């Protein structure tokens, strides 16, 4: 099983963090009186800029969740198509070669799902097995790779494509002045990424998937997620996330590697989800990593923020493109998300 290629795509609208902060101050000028706190929270997430699904001035005009979700459906198809086409081109494949399409997102809903709406746009074969997954949040990029690996392990002559589209800006609650929502307004961004995973009977130049593991932490449902009402998605983001990382991640990674006859010292590259500065610092401490080990993740956070499940796939794409490890080197791809849970993927480059 190999990752043959990763393609990414973004909406056309990119704004610096300074410009975004200016807009939040303007929109919230009559309701949020402690704007200095908002500025501190935005600066602390260490994000330099983000892509948005819509032009910045259109967000204050969205009057309902329905309007925001309609925009999600429209833009998700646009960037989703771009990401899949780019990934297939890089893999030297055509849309008719795809056997399974897995779609993950946690920022909008649609029936028919986005994968179904892309069938005609992409020219996929009618035989394609579609698997839309909602609710995994930030962990879904890594979990989607694991499920794609499960598929091609069963069908070694076939091609699976994972598509992640997250348009976090369309979930923004302009009437919510809680600390989690204010942090989210400075952290989360928009984007899409597609990963081509092929079975062992197909040739590909990318990293091999050696093993995967899912870990669920009991009684952690309120660590991260959404509260959903007529206003849409309201973020649940506990300050406990870094402590959950410190408590569980080293144990889980060590047990996973031990079962493969390996240890952490044999892992030469780390592809991690950029959950935010405090989460990344907790990861570095828990796994006893040197600062440069997560450099690609820190750079992704600075450039585009945290586009939820798409984030770890963007880090993977940049690793494969510009800093690919030596052939035969071992790597770990990992993410954590609502549940609360972890997903671990062992790679051989």
**pLDDT attached to residue 297:** 97
For residues 117 and 135, the answer to whether their CB atoms sit within 8 Å is no
Whether domain 2-198 has CATH 3.40.47.10: the reply is yes
pLDDT for the residue 33: 66
CB atoms within 10 A of CB 182: 21
Residue-wise pLDDT tens for the chain (349 aa)?
999 999 999 999 999 999 999 999 888 887 776 788 889 999 999 999 999 999 999 998 998 999 999 999 999 999 999 999 999 999 999 999 999 999 999 999 999 999 999 999 999 999 999 999 999 999 999 999 999 999 999 999 999 999 999 999 999 998 888 889 999 999 999 999 999 999 999 999 899 999 999 999 999 989 988 888 888 898 888 888 999 999 999 999 999 999 999 999 999 999 999 999 999 999 999 999 998 999 999 999 999 999 999 999 999 999 999 989 999 999 999 999 998 999 999 999 9
pLDDT at 238: 87
How far apart CA 272 and CA 315 sit, in angstroms, is: 7
Residue 264's CB is within 10 A of a number of other CB atoms, namely 15
Q: Give every CB contact of residue 18 below 8 A, 6+ residues apart in sequence.
A: none
3-state secondary structure of 134: strand
DSSP code string of 307-323:
-TTHHHHHHHHHHHHH-
**Residue appearing with tokens 């960037």:** 79
Residue 193 to residue 67: CA distance in whole angstroms: 24
Domain with CATH 3.40.47.10 in the chain: 2-198, 208-348
**Domain 208-348, second-level architecture:** 3-Layer(aba) Sandwich (3.40)
Task: Tell me the residue length of the chain.
Answer: 349
Given a contact cutoff of 8 angstroms between Cβ atoms, the answer to whether 224 and 236 are in contact is yes
How far apart, in whole angstroms, are the C-alpha atoms of residue 150 and residue 148?
5
Helix (H/G/I), strand (E/B), else coil: 106: coil
- The span from the CA of 198 to the CA of 1, in Å, is 6
Residue 35's pLDDT is 80
pLDDT given at position 229: 86
Q: How is residue 103 written in tokens?
A: 């779609």
**pTM given for the model:** 0.95
> Can you list the alpha helix ranges (DSSP code H) found in the chain?
17-27, 35-44, 65-91, 114-122, 140-154, 179-187, 241-259, 277-287, 295-304, 310-322
C-alpha–C-alpha distance, residues 241 and 295, integer Å: 21
- β-bridge pairing 190-198 and 2-9: antiparallel
* Cβ count within 10 A of residue 66: 11
The pLDDT value given to residue 177: 86
Q: What is the bridge-based pairing of β-strands 341-348 and 330-337?
A: antiparallel
Is residue 10 left, alpha or beta, with left meaning phi > 0 and alpha meaning psi from -120 to 50?
beta
Q: Does the annotation mark 168 as catalytic?
A: no
Given 100, 138, 168, 341, the catalytic residue: 138
Say how far apart CA 312 and CA 58 lie, in whole Å.
Answer: 28
Tokens (6 digits) for 326: 């030596």
């Amino acid at each position: 099983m190999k990752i043959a290629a990763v393609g990414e795509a973004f909406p056309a609208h990119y704004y610096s963090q300074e410009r975004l902060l200016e807009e939040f101050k303007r929109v919230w000028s009559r309701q949020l009186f402690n704007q200095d706190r908002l500025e501190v929270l935005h600066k602390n997430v260490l994000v330099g800029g983000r892509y948005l699904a819509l032009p910045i001035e259109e967000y204050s005009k969205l009057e309902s969740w329905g309007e925001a979700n309609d925009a999600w459906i429209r833009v998700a198809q646009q960037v989703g198509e771009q990401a899949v086409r780019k990934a297939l081109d890089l893999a030297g494949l055509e849309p008719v070669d795809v056997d399974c399409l897995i779609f993950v997102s946690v920022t909008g809903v649609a029936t028919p799902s986005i994968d179904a709406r892309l069938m005609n746009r992409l020219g996929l074969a009618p035989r394609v097995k579609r698997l839309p997954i909602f609710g995994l949040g930030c962990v879904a990029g890594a979990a989607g790779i694991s499920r794609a690996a499960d598929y091609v392990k069963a069908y070694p002559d076939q091609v699976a494509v994972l598509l992640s589209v997250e348009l976090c800006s369309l979930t923004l609650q302009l009437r919510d002045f809680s600390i989690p929502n204010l942090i989210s307004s400075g952290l989360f961004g928009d984007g899409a990424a597609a990963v081509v995973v092929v079975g062992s009977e197909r040739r590909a130049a990318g990293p091999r998937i050696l093993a995967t593991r899912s870990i669920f932490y009991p009684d952690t449902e309120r660590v991260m997620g959404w509260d959903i009402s007529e206003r849409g998605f309201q973020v649940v983001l506990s300050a406990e996330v870094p402590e959950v990382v410190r408590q569980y991640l080293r144990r889980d990674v060590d047990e996973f590697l031990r079962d493969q006859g390996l240890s952490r010292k044999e892992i030469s590259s780390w592809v991690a989800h950029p959950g935010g500065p405090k989460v990344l610092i907790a990861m570095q401490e828990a796994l006893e990593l040197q600062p440069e080990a997560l450099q690609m993740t820190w750079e992704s956070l600075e450039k585009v923020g945290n586009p939820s499940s798409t984030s770890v796939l963007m880090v993977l794409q940049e690793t494969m493109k510009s800093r690919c490890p030596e052939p035969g080197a071992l790597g770990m791809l990992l993410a954590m998300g609502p549940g609360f849970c972890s997903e671990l993927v062992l790679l051989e480059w």
